[in-house]
Structure 1
Amino acid sequence: MKAARKSHLHLVRTLTATLVILLLCLISLVLFQNQPAEAQDHPVQGFDVSHHQGNIDWKKISPHKYQFVYLKATEGGDYQDPSFQQNWLKAREQGLHVGAYHYYRLCREAKIQATNFIATVPNKTDALAPVIDLEYDANCLQNSTQEQLLKQIQVMLKMLHQHYGKPPIIYTSKTFYHIVLMGHMPHNALWIRDYDEAYPKLKDQHGWMFWQYTQQGHIEGIQQPVDLNVYAGSMTQWQSYLRYLGVIHH
């Protein structure tokens, strides 16, 4: 009887250990899915931050590990991110390739928003191209036609291009792109936010330059979760793009 009891106890322990291992594997798989393998395979990695990330210790962030960072500068017609100026100076001192983005308000006049951005973000030759963040806003979408929205967005794109001498990038979700932008912005570089798929694909097969693949990233020197991004091309293509912008020279 004792031998049978021992055998039964051994079997229970073995099954329990097996279940624990399977559970750990399942947890690891879920975590891995939140950090797409395709994103990790891209050689050019970056991130974006705003005041929501709090006080950042930029000296802990390697410019060799992260080839670019975008900072929130402005929103709408009169808001400036309180951390932008400090982040702009510290990130540049650290040797990172730095750019700024504007959170676009669909209900505000584009000219006013562009003026806000231009007054806030220095015109530096070695800075990355400006970015316009286009978000879904049901109220504003209902009060404007697609034609009106596109016309206003084009106004801001043109003003930023003229001022900074670099073609702005459009950051957006797949939803906003498909509803508003698809078929109307064939020549604009896209930065796509997509946390759900292993690789973002647009209905019209439009390519993307940047992909924001998670908002739950962790970077030493930043206490809060952070958005992580990748560049679509190779390191050689990235260097060519930087030369095109005038960020680096031959």
Structure 2
Amino acid sequence: MPPAPKKTPTPRKPTFRQTYESDASGRPRRKATPRKKVVKKKPWPLALKFLIAAVVLVLLSPFYYGYVIKGFSSTWSWIRDIGEDPNYRTYSSFNIRIPKGYNIHGIDVSYYQGKIDWKKVKSMQEDDVRIDFAFIKATEGLFLVDPYFQRNWREAPKAGVICGAYHFFRPQKPGEWQAKFFLQTVSFETGDLPPVVDIEELNDVPASKMRIELAAFVKYIEKKTGVKPIIYTGLSFYKDYLRGHFDEYPLWIAHYHQPKLKVNKATNWHFWQHSDKAKISGINHVVDFNAFNGDSLAFDRLLIK
């Protein structure tokens, strides 16, 4: 019979000893595998390093960020003003809308605004709008002196703000006596704005009586100072009781939140109080905001000489 076919030997699995070695303690240890070669990265070119350093310096520069912020601010202002009246735009710093076409702006203050940091007031600016002048309450009636008047009258000019003082008029009191009280409290000097009388109420007296006492007040002021005082009033009060009676005196008219002052072109108005809600740096309460009707030459002519 033919010989039996030889079996093909099957490869044996490696023994435990072939796979592992024993360490000194006799415990099996896997054979160490060869480490991969570490490929060293090529250094960046010197020109690229200089380029990166230059970009970093530009990004860290305050001039760069000033340019970027200014550009962003201008773009945002343009977007924000879309749909608004271009002659009555919003000024975010002052938190009010301000009519365009006026180059000289100011505020009026009293004890209500508390202690004012006039340096901050003067330094505040957005675009071409800044505080050039301030009317400061001095007196009221026959006996009341504003508790913050002397401080405001002293500190505002130091900060470079041109000032005027006003008296809150009470029609039931003698006009000439009120004028004397006002001038005893306020010492006007060259470069100040003219004296102001604030008339807003009839206080239960006839309009004719109010006009008699008001006339006595303004005539006494003009006689003693040589300057025509400014009459402040609201638009409705002016139209109802004053129009046609004091046309020779400069007017300061309150008419809020409107793009234009709605008066006849012949009206002798010099100041327009167009908002009562302005936010001003250095003042902790809202403030009345005003515009002067004229250029810098007209404003200079109005000042006391």
Pair in the same fold by TM > 0.5? yes
Q: Confirm or deny that 1:206 pairs with 2:267.
A: yes
Query: CA contact under 8 A between 2:247 and 2:268: conserved in structure 1?
Result: no
After superposition, the C-alpha distances for 1:182-233 in whole angstroms (9 at most, x for unaligned) are: 1111211000000043211225841310000111001111111011101001
> 4+ runs of 1 displaced by more than 6 Å?
none
Which one has a larger percent helix, Structure 1 or Structure 2? 1
- Please report how far the alpha carbon of residue 72 of structure 1 lies from its aligned counterpart in structure 2 after TM superposition: 0.2
Counterpart code for 2:172:
C
1:222 aligned counterpart, secondary structure: coil
Aligned equivalents of 2:169 and 2:276: distance in 1?
A: 19
Aligned equivalents of 1:114 and 1:135: distance in 2?
A: 17
Aligned to 1:51: 111
**Structure 1's 207 and 198: CA in aligned 2 closer, same or farther, altered over 3 A?**
farther
- Please report how far the alpha carbon of residue 37 of structure 1 lies from its aligned counterpart in structure 2 after TM superposition: 4.5
Counterpart code for 1:51:
Y
Aligned to 1:125: 190
Aligned to 2:163: 98
**Structure 1's 185 and 156: CA in aligned 2 closer, same or farther, altered over 3 A?**
same
- Please report how far the alpha carbon of residue 238 of structure 1 lies from its aligned counterpart in structure 2 after TM superposition: 1.7
Q: Confirm or deny that 1:149 pairs with 2:210.
A: yes
**Structure 1's 204 and 42: CA in aligned 2 closer, same or farther, altered over 3 A?**
closer
Counterpart code for 1:73:
A
Q: Structure 2-normalised TM-score? A: 0.65
Q: Confirm or deny that 1:74 pairs with 2:121.
A: no
Aligned alpha-carbon RMSD (Å):
2.5
Aligned to 1:83: 148
User: Whose radius of gyration is greater, 1 or 2?
Assistant: 2
Matching of residues 152-171 of structure 1 within 5 Å: 152-171=213-232
Aligned equivalents of 1:96 and 1:164: distance in 2?
A: 22
Aligned equivalents of 1:207 and 1:115: distance in 2?
A: 26
**Structure 1's 73 and 238: CA in aligned 2 closer, same or farther, altered over 3 A?**
same
Query: CA contact under 8 A between 2:104 and 2:292: conserved in structure 1?
Result: yes
Q: Structure 1-normalised TM-score? A: 0.78
1:73 aligned counterpart, secondary structure: strand
Aligned equivalents of 1:29 and 1:225: distance in 2?
A: 23
Matching of residues 152-231 of structure 1 within 5 Å: 152-202=213-263, 205-231=266-292
Aligned to 1:15: none
Any stretches of 5+ residues in structure 2 without a counterpart? 1-78
1:219 aligned counterpart, secondary structure: coil
After superposition, the C-alpha distances for 1:116-163 in whole angstroms (9 at most, x for unaligned) are: 1011101322221000001024x42xx32x332212111100111122
Aligned to 1:18: none
Percent identity reads: 33
Aligned equivalents of 2:140 and 2:245: distance in 1?
A: 24
Q: Confirm or deny that 1:238 pairs with 2:299.
A: yes
Aligned equivalents of 1:212 and 1:46: distance in 2?
A: 9
Query: CA contact under 8 A between 1:102 and 1:117: conserved in structure 2?
Result: yes
Query: CA contact under 8 A between 1:212 and 1:228: conserved in structure 2?
Result: yes
Counterpart code for 1:55:
K
